[in-house]
Chain A
């Protein structure tokens, strides 16, 4: 794996993952690494297995074979709450905000495992600094916000736990183009602050333009991987990306 520039101790490593839903073989021998502080894109079309990969990383779905290592610790059989406690966080597909709860309460849920009051105040300050609008709207119910504002809440909520690895599931989905750009600017900003990220996207150009490396997933297999710059040039990408 050294060929593609991964640093010595990856923060996340999926090795030989095979995941099934009943009899259906979803992920087939998937190997993915994210180095500390690295920004990796996972590309793929509909039903390519992107969401299942994220669920496997989070422990919502258990692989039949293979291992998930996070920060040097094997977490394959650990529960989701343990993994979040170790420093994973996710901005889920379609944001999945807690609609009937206020913006403030949504952010509190992001910091659910962080019980230390002082650290929590700092986290709020940090998130409000990144998204001043959220401070303004903190008492408003999350379900009543616009799509762009909701995206900010979802990002802020994930950042509340001071993640070491931030997973992003289709950050561009359902957003107006201007908001997609803004969204990717924020991703870059968070990454520049030293947080490792795995960004799952259909929007290959946008995702690769900010990534260090990328993987292309097609019908449950990794069909292409490499440096983002190389992938952007790759003739096969389009083909693989469209899933044959």
Chain B
């Protein structure tokens, strides 16, 4: 039972990070019908921006602000930096190809992905960067927490899971309750009809990149709070986020959240009950199973071809 609780908490931690990444994929796919393969690298850049701001504020040994404020500032900086990065990527890599065949922006996305990973390596080297949240908090983030039975859920996990869920609730609110969010949903469903309503499609697309990239930035920080980050994590993070988005039904926001959590649970339980070596096998088997039996994903809608 204790193992189960521990694994479930692990699953929620991992799953909520995957969900944040998947949301960026799904939002962009919704409005542009583009698989933004550079998204994982935006996540990576987010984790580095967070690291940079952490150093600027005194580093782990000598932080100049209280730790809670430090974490908030680091996260916000990563979100803002990634939002700007997302807008720049859209402007220069995707917008010129808006009317090109769908394969062209896809290749452009792969190019941006390589560009980001390699230029980050050139600038900052390949060695891992550790936020070292243990020293930062004198162990409090790991040792303090909530007891469920005999299992202590660390403060760090509670922070990770709750931040991710708060961000998802904020996103839900933005998309469902604000004017621009509704315009985004309308654009996802039928871009031309949305333009006929006077919706400025370019603005909606920029807004979408801001949202998706900011979530990736936050996910990058939440990830790097626990595990040292490197310039090469973008690929696997992007792959997992993409898998989560596809399992949930690409284009569907609730689907991306569900897909992320499914992935988190699958990975965590496989690692705990079977073997750590098997977790990727299980995850991608789920993807293949979905591709065969339910290609539109859990909550996606089957593409209807108009005649």
* Interface residues in chain A, defined as those with a beta carbon under 8 Å from any beta carbon in chain B: 58, 60, 79-81, 84-85, 90, 92, 96-101, 105, 108-110, 112-113, 115, 157, 161
Select which of A80, A92, A108 is within 8 A of B182 by beta carbon.
Answer: A108
Select which of B185, B195, B301 is within 8 A of A98 by beta carbon.
Answer: B185
State in angstroms the CA–CA spacing of A80 and B187 once bound together. 14
B179, B183, B192, B197, most chain A CB atoms within 10 A: B197
- A84-B185 in contact (CB<8A): no
**Those of B163-212 within 8 Å (CB) of chain A:** 179, 182-183, 185-186, 189-190, 192-200
State in angstroms the CA–CA spacing of A60 and B194 once bound together. 11
- B196-A98 in contact (CB<8A): no
Select which of A80, A96, A99, A108 is within 8 A of B198 by beta carbon.
Answer: A80
> What is the interface size of chain B, counting residues whose CB is below 8 A from a CB of the partner?
17
- B182-A100 in contact (CB<8A): no
State in angstroms the CA–CA spacing of A81 and B195 once bound together. 7
State in angstroms the CA–CA spacing of A105 and B199 once bound together. 14
Known: A60-B195, A112-B197. 7 other contacts (CB 8 A): A58-B196, A90-B196, A96-B196, A97-B193, A98-B194, A105-B182, A109-B194
- A98-B198 in contact (CB<8A): no
Some 10 contacts from A to B, beta carbons below 8 A apart, are A60-B192, A80-B196, A80-B198, A84-B197, A96-B196, A98-B193, A108-B182, A109-B183, A112-B183, A112-B197
A58 to chain B, nearest CB (A): 6
B3 to chain A, nearest CB (A): 41
Considering the complex, give the chain B residue whose CB is closest to the CB of A80. Answer: B195
Select which of A92, A100, A112, A113 is within 8 A of B189 by beta carbon.
Answer: A100
- A96-B186 in contact (CB<8A): no
Select which of A58, A60, A98 is within 8 A of B186 by beta carbon.
Answer: A98
**Those of B185-243 within 8 Å (CB) of chain A:** 185-186, 189-190, 192-200
State in angstroms the CA–CA spacing of A113 and B200 once bound together. 10
Given contacts A101-B186, A109-B199, contact A92 B179 (CB under 8 A): no
Q: Name the 9 nearest CB pairs between A and B, nearest first.
A: A84-B198, A96-B193, A113-B198, A81-B200, A81-B198, A98-B186, A109-B197, A80-B195, A112-B197
Considering the complex, give the chain A residue whose CB is closest to the CB of B192. Answer: A60
- Point out the residues of chain B lying under 8 angstroms from A58, CB to CB: 195-196
- Point out the residues of chain B lying under 8 angstroms from A110, CB to CB: 197
State in angstroms the CA–CA spacing of A96 and B192 once bound together. 9
- Point out the residues of chain B lying under 8 angstroms from A113, CB to CB: 198
- A81-B199 in contact (CB<8A): yes
Considering the complex, give the chain B residue whose CB is closest to the CB of A110. Answer: B197
- A101-B196 in contact (CB<8A): no
- B182-A85 in contact (CB<8A): no
As a 0/1 sequence over residues 252 to 287 of chain B, the CB contacts with chain A under 8 angstroms (1 = contact) are: 000000000000000000000000000000000000
State in angstroms the CA–CA spacing of A60 and B198 once bound together. 11
- Point out the residues of chain B lying under 8 angstroms from A79, CB to CB: 200
State in angstroms the CA–CA spacing of A112 and B193 once bound together. 12
- Point out the residues of chain A lying under 8 angstroms from B179, CB to CB: 108, 112, 115
B186 to chain A, nearest CB (A): 5
Considering the complex, give the chain A residue whose CB is closest to the CB of B189. Answer: A98
- Point out the residues of chain B lying under 8 angstroms from A92, CB to CB: 193, 196
State in angstroms the CA–CA spacing of A110 and B197 once bound together. 5
- A100-B185 in contact (CB<8A): yes
